Structure 1
Amino acid sequence: MGKHITPAEAAAMIPDGAVVSVSSSSGLGCPDLMLKAIGERFAATGHPSEITTLHPIAAGDMSGIKGVDHIARKGLLKRILAGSYPSGPSTSEPPLIWQMITANEIPAYNIPSGILFDMHREAAAKRPGVITKIGLETFVDPERQGCAMNALAAETPVVKRVSFENEDWLYFPAIVPQVAIIRATTADEHGNLTYEHEGATLGGLDQALAARNNGGIVIAQVKRITKQGALKPHDVRVPGMLVDYVIVDPDQKQTTLTDYDPAISGEIFRPLESFSVPDFNIQKVIARRVAQELQAGSCVNLGFGISANVPRILLEEGLHGAVTWVIEQGAVGGVPLLDFAFGCASNADAYMPSPYQFTYFQGGGFDASLLSFLEIGRDGSVNVSRLSFRPHVTAGAGGFVDITARARKIVFSGMFNAGARLSIVNGKLVIEREGKLKKLVEAVEHVTFSGSRAIAQGQDITYVTERCVLKLTRQGLVLTEIAPGVDLQTQVLDQSEFPLIVSPDLKLMDAALFGEARIGLSLPTKAPRVLEGAHV
């Protein structure tokens, strides 16, 4: 096969100073062997040097798929722009890329994943760039950090605030990749790519178009090669006319810590009873209360953290299928997976290309989003993207900013403060020791979600913790529910850095949340969507 070359030969195709786009979401779809070959070539020859890399979601993780850490070498990397970065526990050595970022060795940017995909599409069509309201009044806005993760990045902005039709917008100039590195399952002799063992198609097509339309090259890493004509045309996600070179890694993992699971790629459907439900603990209490915010018939986005367990709550309550889950990597429906398989789903209805899933999110076409928080500010703003004292334990924003920008309803969940020792005794929450770090702070360190903009747009914002529920209003954060067994003054109001408004209708959280038995969850039905002026 003319396009089939070795990883070393493919790495030699990348010139010094190139802009290289890499398709990956942590371990999902990561062309790890190809990135390894680039790092090895640089170690041996000093080339390619001074490259810029684009990672719309993330490349690699801390559990066996090094990804971007293969190329995190001084002299090899000149600049990096990513939706998120590999993260690790505070007790471990930071990933190499984080060491470079915090040492200010290269300019590093955290750009919302959807916008990075948009930048590829604009580059492919030879348009000047992306004009968007996604990210206004957050760390993305140049009036704050402008996506910069360190001082070097702040010196070279990648986004501007502009006025268009008497409104404020953010403008991201398109960045043209000379090389796109993508991954699939199978390539035929012509380079046509199918994704039958993948948990998502991600954005490989858009990245390939951006490189090809601007005179660049496309390198595909696959698991296997078949003869030309063996692939069904409808199964081909990236046509061979866009693919220049193919390398083979028969051992590529399907996703982090998973060699291959046909349920992740939709080749089989798992029986519902094969999915575990959460053990009874504090996090389950929170996930149950989040589930009470849902409506049957809704399409709901899901983020990492406590909220990732909400589909299992519905499963346990006999309500699987009442809500359609939509994940930024592209899965629609099914049962979203947990831990290192997060971003994948079993029994999915469909796999959307990630760039188009982000278009759905950016335009607010879905009904609600369930997300986490690290900090909540007085104005309702949320930080999930940066903690200066432990930067490498946060991955960055990923698609968080794209998702929250126009979401009609958002439910943030998390522990009220960090490090508290808690238990549940006889259906009541017992706070045995308060945490050392307050999470309700005067002002969040990094604005990943803007509370003031949410108010201006009329978004419905709820914050669920183990000890209380809060709502964002024009007057401030209003305490609407409190857990049984919790003292209002000492264990809620005194644990916030700013005054909370206590609702005159303050009530106890549902007592069933704090028991081991099922809670008897019942979801109201979402009203059907009707066009204004339609006759029904």
Structure 2
Amino acid sequence: MGEGRKGQRGNGRLKLAVAATPGGRPRRGQRGNKLVSAAEAVAFIRDRDTLASSGFVGTGTPDELICALEKRFLEDGGPHDLTLVFAAAPGDGKERGMNRLAHEGLVKRVIAGHWSLVPKLGKLAVDNKIEAYNIPLGVVSHLFRDIAAHRAGNLTKVGLRTFVDPRQDGGKINKRTVDDIVRVMEVDGEEYLFYKSFPIHVALIRGTTADPAGNITMEHEALTLDNLAIATAARNSGGIVIAQVERVAAPGVLNPRQVVVPGILVDYVVIAKPENHLQTYGTEYNPAFSGEFKVPLTMLGNLPLDERKVIARRCAFELPMGGVVNLGIGMPEGVASVANEERILSYVTLTAEPGVIGGVPQSGLNFGAAVNNEALIHQNQQFDFYDGGGLDMACLGMAEADRNGHVNVSRFGPRLAGAGGFINITQNARRIAFAGTFTAGGLEVEVDNGILRIIKEGRSRKFVNRVEQITFNGSYAAEQGTTVLYVTERCVFRRTEEGMELVEVAPGMDIEENILAHMDFEPIVKKPVMMDARIFRDHLMQLEESLLGLGLHERISYDSKTNVMFLNAEGMHILTRDDVDRVRRIIEERCQSIGRKVKMVVNYENVFIDQAVADTYAAMIRYMQQNYYTTASRYTSSEFMREKLGETLTRRRVVPHIFGTPDEAHDYVAGRGNTERQGKKTWQPAKAKPKAKARSPRR
């Protein structure tokens, strides 16, 4: 691979080749040398263009191109009145990224999913100096595809009954912003939001390697983001695509399977200076981010036992073993560290919205990247998965919450944070844990040998009568049946059908003095329980057994009068051979202590048995049934579970006796069962088809 520029120049200007966009803008030939300088590339950006950029914090942010565009405006006074479009704020919260373009006259309008890391643009919006919209990050990401395909827009339920809903703010940030870009539509009697598409004239994207034809690979990038969708949208809108890379390869040497953006979409390629092409704003380059190799997770440090770790630990108790989880920025980042410390990462798949699957999501200016990720997919594809209900759980931040369970993370007076992927995620995850301290601004706590003490209370209340902006609608979630927790260092609330209920209190906390006295509303208080004491002690919590549901000693009961042993296996996850052996060992010990064979009844409600150990589990049951049970029955309301477990046991020559209700299972072992009634509910093996009678040969 070599680096360099081969563009021919005459009279100080690049001689552009062969084609032009439908709007008359010069376009480089498909097979020609597309290498130009950053200044030459941004010279083709015109007044009133709509410019879309990649970038998630600093990952994938094309700083070389952004710097060149700012320089052109400051030195030449143009271009003017640009519309900027980005999904996740490409910035560092200070000067870098899109913050460089925050100049009056340069920008007219911004349509963004996230604003927190571009405060200079946010100030222009809050001061009413530009038109500004905040719509969900996932919607922006999907709009790039819709624009590329010339669709009218994006139809989705994401955003309903939040500030994005046109019956509230319609995503408009200030009074200057008057055009409606989202409206309510009804399809088959159900409400949806429709986000209008619009042409994109310029795409700024970023990759690792380009060839002279403009093919782009991303082997050093921590994320692939929406580069392909953005490039396609600009190309099919008649616009231009400018790609920033760190190096250039000879023609024809790039592996076609590694090309993320094909050269047919790219007009200009710019080689970036190293300082404008960091892997993230927090890390120059980490090969574990890009998947070049994996690092031992023991190298990752543990959190100190403070309020952040207490909250992360309590949230970790909600992790669904075998499930898929999204962790948001800020307080929820600690959940990944706790999961690593407790050695349960192998049982759960952590994800981040820009396309990370598996591994350990990172924090701060590395947020969005992950160490040891299992896969990197496009950001818009990640939101396909999220919006379709793929998340078993999400843990996200909580800036303020109110009596309805509404949460605001997007707008606080002059501070514009934006929703990011928060709305997509919270409206579609099966279970949500909001994480945040109980008060804010100077809060000091002490965690001492299982007890929490408030040393200094925070200046600002976070549980208020009414949030400033509805980023999450608690009432809507309750109607959908979503499980929602609000986790703080001193207590936990749950959004029930009746409202916000106090369900857990930390050891050392007085409900009246430490909780109710610092809220603007009175929650429902019935019988709150103590938060798990392990959370407040400075040693491992042994989460593995708790989350896998393998605390079997407490799950087994025995009635000596009826000789019935009952195993409540509800919610257990059997994932490894060690799990199977643990189940066998504990039940066997209990049976041996009883001294005779028992009648066994097992509750299999919401049990998950990994297919890789299903036969091992069935063999264990056969062993137990031969040696310790006189009879056994099982029950679950899941027809799928009855079918799969029944097939597995039958294959191991165990009569399944799997029923649909606990009464039927108990009736069976007690000898009270109605065979005909049970036959309709219990699992039955499929009957073999009768063999056809042999025909006599025709004479």
If the TM-score is normalised by the length of the shorter chain, which range does it land in? over 0.9
| Contact in 2 for aligned 1:120/1:175 (Cα 8 Å) | no
| Contact in 2 for aligned 1:386/1:396 (Cα 8 Å) | yes
Question: How far off its partner does 1:296 sit?
Answer: 1.2
- Secondary structure, counterpart of 2:181 in structure 1: coil
Question: How far off its partner does 1:172 sit?
Answer: 0.8
Q: Who is 1:197 aligned against? A: 220
Given the two structures, how large is their TM-score scaled by the length of structure 1?
A: 0.95
Q: 2:142 aligns with which of 107, 118, 124?
A: 118
Question: How far off its partner does 1:535 sit?
Answer: 3.3
- Structure 2: how far apart are the matches of 1:285 and 1:469? 12
Q: Which letter maps to 2:530?
A: L
Given the superposition, is the C-alpha separation of residues 406 and 86 from structure 1 closer, same or farther in structure 2, using an over 3 Å criterion? closer
Q: Which letter maps to 1:75?
A: G
1:447 is the counterpart of 2:497: no
Q: Who is 1:91 aligned against? A: none
- Structure 2: how far apart are the matches of 1:86 and 1:10? 28
Q: Who is 1:270 aligned against? A: 295
Question: How far off its partner does 1:528 sit?
Answer: 4.3
Deviations 1:25-81 (A, max 9, x none): 1111000110111111111222211111100111211366x1112211111111001
- Structure 2: how far apart are the matches of 1:151 and 1:445? 17
The 5-angstrom pairing of residues 386-425 of structure 1 reads: 386-388=411-413, 390-392=414-416, 395-419=417-441, 420-425=443-448
Q: 2:381 aligns with which of 339, 343, 356?
A: 356
Q: 1:161 aligns with which of 184, 202, 205?
A: 184
Q: Which letter maps to 1:111?
A: I
Q: Who is 1:241 aligned against? A: 264
- Secondary structure, counterpart of 1:27 in structure 2: coil
Q: Who is 1:72 aligned against? A: 102
Deviations 1:135-173 (A, max 9, x none): 0000111111111111112x2222112223222211111
- Structure 2: how far apart are the matches of 1:86 and 1:483? 32
- Of 325-334 and 271-280, more deviation after overlay is shown by 271-280
Higher relative contact order (CA 8 A, sep 6+): 1
1:509 is the counterpart of 2:531: yes
Deviations 1:367-400 (A, max 9, x none): 1101110011111111111111x505xx311111
Q: Who is 1:184 aligned against? A: 207
Structure of greater Rg: 2
Question: How far off its partner does 1:533 sit?
Answer: 9.9
Q: 2:45 aligns with which of 1, 14, 39?
A: 14
- Structure 1: how far apart are the matches of 2:207 and 2:142? 21
| Contact in 1 for aligned 2:349/2:358 (Cα 8 Å) | yes
Question: How far off its partner does 1:98 sit?
Answer: 2.3
- Structure 2: how far apart are the matches of 1:457 and 1:359? 20
- Structure 2: how far apart are the matches of 1:443 and 1:325? 32
Question: How far off its partner does 1:515 sit?
Answer: 1.1
Unaligned runs of 5+ in 1: 89-94
Q: Who is 2:66 aligned against? A: 35
Q: Who is 1:258 aligned against? A: 283
The 5-angstrom pairing of residues 45-60 of structure 1 reads: 45-60=76-91
- Structure 1: how far apart are the matches of 2:469 and 2:529? 32
Deviations 1:197-223 (A, max 9, x none): 111000000011111112111110011
| Contact in 1 for aligned 2:57/2:117 (Cα 8 Å) | no
- Of 428-437 and 198-207, more deviation after overlay is shown by 428-437
- Structure 1: how far apart are the matches of 2:345 and 2:188? 45
- Structure 1: how far apart are the matches of 2:347 and 2:529? 27
Q: Who is 1:291 aligned against? A: 316
The 5-angstrom pairing of residues 320-359 of structure 1 reads: 320-359=345-384
- Structure 2: how far apart are the matches of 1:168 and 1:186? 45
Q: Which letter maps to 2:261?
A: V
- Structure 2: how far apart are the matches of 1:296 and 1:35? 43
- Secondary structure, counterpart of 1:35 in structure 2: helix
- Structure 2: how far apart are the matches of 1:311 and 1:87? 22
- Structure 2: how far apart are the matches of 1:56 and 1:213? 19
The 5-angstrom pairing of residues 104-143 of structure 1 reads: 104-143=128-167
| Contact in 1 for aligned 2:113/2:136 (Cα 8 Å) | yes
Question: How far off its partner does 1:174 sit?
Answer: 0.4
- Secondary structure, counterpart of 2:500 in structure 1: strand
Deviations 1:283-309 (A, max 9, x none): 111111100111211110110122111
Q: Which letter maps to 2:540?
A: R
Q: Which letter maps to 1:164?
A: V
- Secondary structure, counterpart of 1:151 in structure 2: coil
Given the superposition, is the C-alpha separation of residues 205 and 533 from structure 1 closer, same or farther in structure 2, using an over 3 Å criterion? same
Given the superposition, is the C-alpha separation of residues 497 and 47 from structure 1 closer, same or farther in structure 2, using an over 3 Å criterion? same
| RMSD over aligned Cα atoms | 1.6
- Structure 1: how far apart are the matches of 2:294 and 2:168? 46
The 5-angstrom pairing of residues 307-318 of structure 1 reads: 307-318=332-343
- Secondary structure, counterpart of 1:321 in structure 2: helix
The 5-angstrom pairing of residues 361-380 of structure 1 reads: 361-380=386-405
Unaligned runs of 5+ in 2: 1-5, 7-32, 549-571, 574-606, 610-637, 645-699
| Contact in 2 for aligned 1:415/1:466 (Cα 8 Å) | yes
- Structure 1: how far apart are the matches of 2:448 and 2:255? 59
Deviations 1:307-344 (A, max 9, x none): 11112112111222111011101110011112211110
Given the superposition, is the C-alpha separation of residues 176 and 528 from structure 1 closer, same or farther in structure 2, using an over 3 Å criterion? farther
- Structure 1: how far apart are the matches of 2:402 and 2:433? 15
- Structure 1: how far apart are the matches of 2:427 and 2:79? 38
Question: How far off its partner does 1:432 sit?
Answer: 2.4
Q: Which letter maps to 2:451?
A: K
| Contact in 1 for aligned 2:90/2:117 (Cα 8 Å) | no
- Structure 2: how far apart are the matches of 1:375 and 1:369? 17
Q: Which has the higher helix share?
A: 2
Question: How far off its partner does 1:6 sit?
Answer: 0.5
Given the two structures, how large is their TM-score scaled by the length of structure 2?
A: 0.73
| Contact in 1 for aligned 2:64/2:273 (Cα 8 Å) | no
| Contact in 2 for aligned 1:224/1:250 (Cα 8 Å) | no
1:85 is the counterpart of 2:85: no
Deviations 1:478-525 (A, max 9, x none): 111100100011111222111111132x21111111111111113134
| Contact in 1 for aligned 2:535/2:541 (Cα 8 Å) | yes
Deviations 1:73-120 (A, max 9, x none): 1111110011112438xxxxxx42122112111011111111011211
- Secondary structure, counterpart of 1:24 in structure 2: coil
| Contact in 1 for aligned 2:214/2:266 (Cα 8 Å) | yes
- Structure 2: how far apart are the matches of 1:488 and 1:286? 18
Deviations 1:452-482 (A, max 9, x none): 1101111010111000111110111111110
- Structure 2: how far apart are the matches of 1:129 and 1:164? 15
Q: Which letter maps to 1:27?
A: G
- Structure 1: how far apart are the matches of 2:120 and 2:354? 25
Deviations 1:396-444 (A, max 9, x none): 1111111111211001110011133221233211112322211111111
Q: Who is 2:36 aligned against? A: 5
- Secondary structure, counterpart of 2:484 in structure 1: strand
- Structure 2: how far apart are the matches of 1:479 and 1:460? 14
- Secondary structure, counterpart of 2:401 in structure 1: strand
- Structure 2: how far apart are the matches of 1:250 and 1:321? 39
Q: Who is 1:44 aligned against? A: 75
1:170 is the counterpart of 2:193: yes
